Amino acid sequence: DPGEEEAALADMRGRWPKARYGEDKERSGAIARRIFDPTLWRPERPLRVVLSGTDFEVRVWETLLGIPMGRATTYSDIAAKLGKPTASRAVGAAVGKNPVSFVVPCHRVMGKSGDLTGYHWGITRKRAMLGWEAGRVEAA
């Protein structure tokens, strides 16, 4: 969808205004396959990303990396894991600032009641990502 592509590019430009952007479909396609094709996942060769945020944001993102595919957690559970049981809203803000959505799986975080809550790319996409993962887990 061209609208989503433009929104993603605008988001990146906002985060990294001095970066130069170009398109390399071959390279980005190879990276996308490594992310979305479980047959290409190699624990000895992890995908590396550079994340820039506050110490708290990075701790939240690191916690997200520990949520297994096909599982979910809540903002309050993450806050408790970080030793900040009253920081659910701050966790939500950090989750919302995650710049690499599927790689750092912010879509696996739900509201306390188990409801699908806000997601930068929309609840429909969040539901689709969770469904895709559930299918992969069931097939394994």
User: Hey, is 73 helix, strand or coil?
Assistant: strand
Catalytic residues: 106
Q: Distance (Å, rounded) from C-alpha 115 to C-alpha 9? A: 29
- Nearest alpha carbon to residue 91 among 104, 105, 109, 68: 109
Query: Which amino acid, residue 77?
Result: D
Contacts of 62 (CB under 8 A, 6+ apart): none
